[in-house]
């Protein structure tokens, strides 16, 4: 009788273990295999990174027989991608060996204890000296000064405009607005002269995620007189609230959408608008001015889903002006993406080997920057004529680096960014006035970072 | 189908006479042994149900984050006080009530009842057609239903094409009144459940009662109001309880249609909870909101159960 009880108990325990996946032998990667996670955005036609990584895996497995690299694309909106990634990195059972992230989030994940410091690896890697200082800064932990990722590209942002449409509206090209007012004035001219054309696109709202915060809002905010201190004051280590610059930027957003100078609100607040802009509105000549990133040509290259060869003659570029044309006269925002190794990775050494001997050799880094039309972070690549000439706009966007700004590399940035998107959305829809949206933002930021970490803006 | 068949009699085995054989184990041991077969199920329930729920309650009192903080600390009622001061939370609370009352208590319930009553006198093909259409909406996966409804309501969608054909002004509810759009969508999707419950209940109303009322000169309205409804009252309350709890936790439908936007005009509690926990990485705050949602559901249930109790007294 007793033995039966024991047997039943043992059976029960075994069942529980089996169903919860506890116990040994359930790990997915052996010493010879790694799992690499990257973001496949909702535009499933965009396979640039998938194809590039597949060729890298081929190269690596050929050089290292017996190794296995599994690519795991996560198909999601950008915000959902990070959520999924963080959930994966939380548990040793699901942690990948190499992950691809926007540098804006690196500090959040460092503070979360998700990432492994790479200093021991970079110390023995000759190529590390080739990486630009600003790019290294973007992947350095705010609290401990250690390196947590290897950046593979950076970007800048500016104004893309359709030369033909501007000329039709009676605006001389090449066009270079000097102030925000110039941008609005041009948009108004286009609206009056060209019915059926969206004059100006400015990303906005929560569905757009970081694109709204960065291409949309920070391109304005960092061009206000407070400049680098408009969102975060690094000298006081405090977030700026209640500033006039913030309200002015919101007012710009409000003007664009309330006066019908932008896309329809329903379109702008949709989840996949970025793809629509790059693959439909611009090539079809339905959008005249777009405040967007240096990577736009990868929507139109021969490798893209819908190649558009004419872009080189149709599209012009201009720098985003500062609010009133004050020095330095132009502004830009830079981010970039980077490869990290999760703290709970099963096979960090092999992941590093893949990263340093294949993904980020000079040749392959250049190949990636050319493929994806982004700005190089390695000085040896940046001066390479093949890279500079690969995309006609590379030179213009690389020069913007001189006047660019980086987002505050802090764990709280993510929440502040969400608060920005919320404020933008409420003035876009007209749900709140500029003042009301700005004060909601102030409260959101105080709730997220603590009252003692905020300071009233002076300008 | 008329009245229910009598319930099967209890099938208790013949009782053992007292003075059991000396070899049988003591009563305590015996009941233990009888419980033995349920042990695996109990263990699984504890591991997969009670465990996560207990964790969830615990997280609600911590400042756990998905990213941005390594440690998790016990913060007492901070998350709840924060929620009460959070205008977005209060907005979500209000919209949740609107959504539940509008789409479930009023919408699905009334429409389901009306359809059930009308179908009493319908011919077989009509009944089959209506049943088919209504139930088709219900068996669709939530996300599919959400996309269909989006395609129906959005600016260039089928509803506006229809309105254009009839020379009526266009609507733009997804944008101007998103909570109305998701309410209508939820009525469309969920009415089938109420329809089935009420059809079964009405079929169980004793025919002689209705006939007697007719003999006494009651018109169709009076028969419905004074005979049928009082008889099926318990079914109405049970149905209300079930659809209220279902509607409280609707996420996919709203998320696919509006993502809680524009702004926060259709951000009900489940959507708000998701955004706090996964977009803002505030797991602790998100789970606290989940607990609040649980309490709201419990309150509704308590009211319905009280009403049912009155019924019995």
- B67 Cα to chain A: minimum distance (Å): 5
**pLDDT for res B6:** 46
The Cα-based distances of B169 to B25, B149, B157, B160, B262 in angstroms read: 81, 19, 14, 8, 22
Which one of A207, A412, A431 has the shortest CB-CB distance to B265?
A431
Q: What percent of chain B has pLDDT over 90?
A: 57
Q: Does A415 reach chain B within 8 Å, measured CB to CB?
A: yes
Task: Report the interhelical angle of B87-99 vs B178-203 (nearest 10°).
Answer: 40
Nearest chain B Cα to A428, which residue?
B263
Closest residue in B to A2 (Cα) is B33
Q: Is the pLDDT of residue A245 over 60?
A: yes
Confidence (pLDDT) at A27: 43
Contact A341, A353 (CB under 8 A): no
Higher pLDDT, B199 or A25: B199
Contact B70 A108 (CB under 8 A): no
User: How much is the mean pLDDT over chain A?
Assistant: 89
Rounded to an integer, what distance in angstroms lies between the CA atom of residue A185 and that of residue B110? 54
pLDDT value at position A431? 87
The predicted structure's pLDDT at residue B2 = 43
The pLDDT score that the predictor gives to residue B10 is 44
Interface list for B 150-169 with A (CB within 8 A): 154-155
Q: Is the pLDDT of residue B253 over 70?
A: yes
Q: What is the mean pLDDT of residues A88-95?
A: 94
Query: Do A262 and A213 touch, CB atoms closer than 8 A?
Result: no
- pLDDT of B311 > 80? The answer is no
Chain A contact for B72 (CB, 8 A cutoff): no
pLDDT tens by residue, B14-38: 444 454 455 666 888 888 888 899 9
Q: Hey, is the C-beta of A23 within 8 angstroms of any chain B C-beta?
A: no
Q: How far is A62 from chain B (nearest CA, A)?
A: 37
Spell out where A242-395 has E strands: 287-293, 315-318, 320-321, 330-334, 337-340
List chain B residues with CB under 8 Å of A431: 262-265
Assess A1–B contact: CB distance below 8 Å, yes or no.
Answer: yes
Confidence grade of residue A29 (pLDDT, cut at 50, 70, 90):
very low
Mutation for A interface: B65, B68, B82, most A CBs within 10 A: B68
Q: What mean pLDDT is reported for chain B?
A: 87
Mean pLDDT along residues B180-196: 94
Compute the distance between CA of residue A185 and CA of residue A179 in angstroms, rounded to an integer: 10
The DSSP code sequence of A237-286 is: TEEEES-HHHHHHHHHHHHHHHTT-SS-HHHHTSTTHHHHIIIIITTTT-
> Which positions ≥6 away from B163 have C-beta within 8 Å?
B169, B170, B171
Q: Pick from B66, B82, B262: which is nearest to A269 by CB?
A: B262
Q: How far is A100 from chain B (nearest CA, A)?
A: 16
Q: Which residue of B has its CA nearest to A415?
A: B280
What count of Cα atoms within 13 Å lies in the side-chain half-sphere of residue A346?
18
Q: What is the pLDDT of residue B27?
A: 84
Chain B contact for A185 (CB, 8 A cutoff): no
Residue-wise pLDDT tens digits, A160-186: 999 999 999 999 999 999 999 999 999
Closest A-chain CA to B40: A12
pLDDT bracket for residue A30 (50, 70, 90): low
Given B25, B70, B262, which is nearest A112 (Cβ)? B70
Contact B68 A414 (CB under 8 A): yes
Among chain A residues, CA nearest to B63: A448
Q: Which of chain A's residues have a Cβ under 8 Å away from the Cβ of B68?
A: 108-109, 111-112, 411-412, 414-415
Distance in angstroms (rounded) separating the CA atoms of residues B172 and B157: 10
- In percent, the amount of chain A with pLDDT more than 90 equals 68
Adjacent-strand bridge partners of A331: A320
Are A431 and B263 a contacting pair, CB within 8 Å?
yes
Treating both helix axes as pointing N-terminal to C-terminal, what angle do A48-63 and A362-371 enclose, rounded to 10 degrees?
160
Tell me the chain B residues in contact with residue A20 when contact means C-beta distances shorter than 8 Å: 47
Distance from CA of B263 to the nearest CA of A (A): 5
- The per-residue pLDDT for B83 is 93
Q: Which residue of B has its CA nearest to A418?
A: B280
Burial of A315 (0-12, 13-18, 19+ CB in 10 A): buried
Kindly tell me if the per-residue pLDDT of A134 is higher than 70: yes
Question: Has residue A130 got a pLDDT over 90?
Answer: yes
Taking CB atoms and an 8 Å cut-off, how many pairs form between chains A and B?
105
Q: Which of A400-404, B70-74, B176-180 has the lowest mean pLDDT?
A: B70-74
Distance from CA of B139 to the nearest CA of A (A): 26
Task: Name the strand (E) or helix (H) holding A408.
Answer: none
Are A113 and B44 inside 8 Å of each other by CB?
no
Per-residue pLDDT, B172:
84
Beta strands in A16-96 (DSSP E): 33-40, 68-75
- Is the pLDDT reported for residue A384 higher than 90? no
Q: Contacts of residue A418 in chain B, CB cutoff 8 Å?
A: 279-280
Tell if the CB–CB gap between B39 and A440 is shorter than 8 Å: no
- Beta carbons of A425 and B263 less than 8 Å apart: yes
Of B33, B155, B259, the CB nearest to A271: B259
Residue of chain B nearest A410, judged by CA positions: B68
pLDDT(A21) > 70:
no
Q: For residue B82, what is the nearest residue in chain A, using CA coordinates?
A: A447
Q: Residues 266..325 of A with a Cβ closer than 8 Å to B: which?
A: 266, 269, 271
Residue B313 and residue B306: Cα distance in Å, rounded? Answer: 11
Instruction: Encode pLDDT of A37-84 as tens digits.
Output: 999 977 777 788 999 999 999 999 999 999 999 999 999 888 889 999
- Contact: A414, B281; criterion CB under 8 Å: yes
- Contact residues on chain A for B44, CB-CB shorter than 8 A: 15-16, 19
Q: Is A352 on the interface with B (CB under 8 A)?
A: no
Would you call B261 and A414 a contact, using CB atoms and an 8 Å cutoff?
no
CA–CA separation, A46 vs B211, rounded Å? 69
Give residue B111's Cα distance to chain centre.
16
Candidate from B33, B82, B279 with C-beta closest to A447: B82
Chain B CB contacts of A414 below 8 Å? 67-68, 280-281
Instruction: Provide the pLDDT confidence category of residue A269 given band limits of 50, 70 and 90.
Output: confident
Beta bridge partners of A456: A241
């Amino acid at each position: 009788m007793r033995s039966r009880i024991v047997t039943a108990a043992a059976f029960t325990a075994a069942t529980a273990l089996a169903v919860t996946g506890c116990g040994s032998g359930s790990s997915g990667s052996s010493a010879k295999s790694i799992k690499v996670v990257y973001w496949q955005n909702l535009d499933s036609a965009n396979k640039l990174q998938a194809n590039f990584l597949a060729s890298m895996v081929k190269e690596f497995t050929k050089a290292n027989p017996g190794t296995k690299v599994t690519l795991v694309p996560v198909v999601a909106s950008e915000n959902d991608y990070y959520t999924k990634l963080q959930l994966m990195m939380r548990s040793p059972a699901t942690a990948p060996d190499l992950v691809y992230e926007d540098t804006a989030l690196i500090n959040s994940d460092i503070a979360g204890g998700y990432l492994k410091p790479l200093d021991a690896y970079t110390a023995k890697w000759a190529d590390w000296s080739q990486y630009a200082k600003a790019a290294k800064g973007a992947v350095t932990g705010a609290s401990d000064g250690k390196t947590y990722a290897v950046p593979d590209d950076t970007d800048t942002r500016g104004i893309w405009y359709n030369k033909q449409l501007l000329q039709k509206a009676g605006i001389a090209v090449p066009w270079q607005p000097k102030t925000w007012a110039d941008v609005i004035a041009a948009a108004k001219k286009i609206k009056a002269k060209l019915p059926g054309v969206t004059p100006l696109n400015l990303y906005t709202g929560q569905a757009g995620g970081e694109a709204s915060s960065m291409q949309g809002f920070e391109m304005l905010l960092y061009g206000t007189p407070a400049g680098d201190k408009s969102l975060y004051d690094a000298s006081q280590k405090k977030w700026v609230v209640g500033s006039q610059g913030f309200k002015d930027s919101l007012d710009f957003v409000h003007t664009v959408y309330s006066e019908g100078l932008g896309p329809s609100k329903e379109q702008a607040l949709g989840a996949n608008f970025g793809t629509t802009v790059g693959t439909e509105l611009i090539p079809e000549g339905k959008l005249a001015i777009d405040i967007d990133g240096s990577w736009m040509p990868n929507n139109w290259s021969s490798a893209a889903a819908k190649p558009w060869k004419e872009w080189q003659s149709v599209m012009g570029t201009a720098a985003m002006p500062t609010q009133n044309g004050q020095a330095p006269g132009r502004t830009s925002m830079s981010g970039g993406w980077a490869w990290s190794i999760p703290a709970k990775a099963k096979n960090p050494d092999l992941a590093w080997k893949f990263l340093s001997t294949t993904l980020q050799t000079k040749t392959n880094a250049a190949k990636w920057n050319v493929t994806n039309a982004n700005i190089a972070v390695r000085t040896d690549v940046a001066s390479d004529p093949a890279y500079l000439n690969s995309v006609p706009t590379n030179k213009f966007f690389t020069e913007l680096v001189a006047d660019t700004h980086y987002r505050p590399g802090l764990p709280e940035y993510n929440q502040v960014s969400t608060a920005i998107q919320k404020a933008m959305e409420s003035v876009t829809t007209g749900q709140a006035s500029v003042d009301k949206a700005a004060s909601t933002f102030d409260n959101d930021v105080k709730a997220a970072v603590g009252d003692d970490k905020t300071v009233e803006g002076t300008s | 189908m008329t009245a229910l068949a009598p319930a099967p009699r209890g099938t208790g085995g013949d009782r053992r006479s007292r003075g059991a054989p000396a070899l049988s184990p003591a009563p305590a041991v015996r009941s233990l042994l009888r419980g033995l077969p349920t042990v695996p199920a109990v263990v699984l329930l504890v591991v997969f149900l009670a465990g996560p729920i207990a964790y969830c309650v615990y997280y609600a009192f911590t400042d756990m984050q998905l990213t941005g903080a390594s440690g998790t600390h016990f913060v007492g009622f901070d998350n709840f006080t924060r929620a009460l001061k959070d205008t977005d939370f209060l907005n979500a609370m209000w919209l949740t009530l609107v959504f539940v009352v509008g789409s479930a208590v009023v919408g699905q319930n009334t429409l389901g009842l009306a359809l059930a009553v009308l179908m009493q006198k319908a011919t077989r093909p009509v009944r089959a057609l209506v049943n088919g259409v209504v139930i088709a909406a219900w068996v669709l996966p939530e996300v599919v239903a959400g996309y269909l409804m989006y395609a129906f309501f959005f600016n260039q969608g089928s509803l506006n094409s229809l309105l254009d054909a009839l020379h009526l002004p266009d609507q733009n509810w997804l944008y101007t009144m998103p909570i109305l759009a998701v309410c209508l969508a939820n009525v469309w999707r969920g009415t089938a459940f109420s329809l089935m419950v009420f059809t079964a209940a009405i079929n169980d109303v004793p025919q002689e009662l209705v006939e007697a009322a007719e003999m006494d000169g009651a018109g169709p309205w009076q028969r419905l109001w004074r005979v049928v409804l009082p008889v099926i009252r318990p079914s109405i309350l049970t149905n209300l309880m079930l659809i209220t709890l279902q509607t409280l936790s609707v996420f996919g439908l709203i998320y696919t249609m509006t993502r809680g936007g524009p702004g926060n005009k259709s951000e009900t509690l489940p959507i708000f909870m998701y955004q706090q926990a996964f977009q803002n990485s505030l797991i602790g705050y998100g789970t606290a909101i989940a607990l609040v949602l649980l309490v709201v559901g419990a309150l509704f249930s308590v009211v319905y159960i009280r009403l049912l109790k009155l019924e019995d007294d």
